[in-house]
Amino acid sequence: MQTWPPEPKRFGRFFLWAIDFSKLFCYCNSKKNAINPDLWRRKMIEYTIERVKLGDEEELAYIQTESWKAGFKDILSEDVLQRYTQVNKATEMYRHILDQNIGNGYLLKVEGKPHCIAWWDATREKDMPGYAELICIHSLQNQWRKGYGSKMMDAVLHDVAAAGYSKIMLWVFEANTRARRFYEVHGFAANGKAKRSLEAIEVCYEKNLYEQELSGRM
C-alpha cells in the first residue's frame, strides 16, 4: 500500500520530466546557487518571475497537478495520473521541500496570478557529474503557447550559468512531443539515455550552456 508522504528516499517523484519520487529528497546537494537576489525577480510588462518561498506551496501544488492532468492525460494511465495529481499531497510535498530549502524553485505570475513553476539543482545522475538538472517546468494550460514558458526557461538557464554550471540535463517522457519540441527550441538535444518511469519511457536531454553563450555573442 502506498502511503503519503513517502519516506524521504521516495519523495522526488512528483516533479515533471524527472518524475522519480524515490529521489528528490535524496538529491539535496552541496552546490547551492550563489545568485544575486536581484536576479531572482524579473519584472516585465505582463509577468514577474520570483524565487519561491515557504507559503507558496499551495500555488506550486495547484500548478503542478493541473499541468500533469492537462499534459499527461494521453501519456500516463488514469490510475497513475490520479495517484500523482492529488493537490493536498503535492502541497505537503512542496511545504517540506521549501522548509528544507531543497533546490532552486521559481514562480512566474501573469498579471499577479500564478501560472508557471520551475525547479533545478545539481543533477541526480551519477554518470553526469558537473551537470545541473532541470527537474521540472510546469504551467497552466490556459496560458500555453504565449511565451511564458520560454521566459521561465531563459531565467532558469541564466541562473544556472550564474551558479557556475556549463551543462544542464533533464528527463522528459518520450511520448511528450510538445515538451520535447519546447526543449529542442531552447537548444536541448537527446543524448541517447532512457529509462522507464511511471509505466512510461523517459528520455534524457542535455544542453551546453557555453555553446549558448558563444552563439549569443555572434
DSSP 63-81: HHHHHHHHHSTTTS-HHHH
Q: Which helix (H) or strand (E) holds 169?
A: strand 167-173
- Is residue 72 within 8 A of residue 84, CB to CB? The reply is no
Q: Which helix (H) or strand (E) holds 148?
A: helix 148-162
Report yes or no on 170 lying in a domain.
yes
Helix, strand, or coil (residue 21): strand
Quote the domain boundaries for residue 134.
Answer: 9-23+38-217
* pTM across the whole model: 0.77
Report yes or no on 198 lying in a domain.
yes
* Residue ranges of the chain with per-residue pLDDT less than 70: 1-45, 211-218
Report yes or no on 211 lying in a domain.
yes
- Is residue 189 within 8 A of residue 206, CB to CB? The reply is yes
Report yes or no on 3 lying in a domain.
no
Helix, strand, or coil (residue 114): strand
Report yes or no on 1 lying in a domain.
no
Report yes or no on 54 lying in a domain.
yes
Task: Give me the pLDDT at residue 61, please.
Answer: 97
Task: Give me the pLDDT at residue 146, please.
Answer: 81
Sheet holding 200-208, edge to edge: 42-43, 47-51, 104-110, 113-122, 132-139, 167-173, 200-208, 189-197
| CATH code of residue 58 | 3.40.630.30
Report yes or no on 28 lying in a domain.
no
**Dihedral through CA 65, CA 66, CA 71, CA 72, nearest 10?**
40
pLDDT digits 0-9 by tens, 85-130: 999 999 999 999 999 999 999 999 999 999 999 999 999 999 999 9
Number of domains in the chain: 1
Pairing state of beta strands 200-208 and 47-51?
unpaired
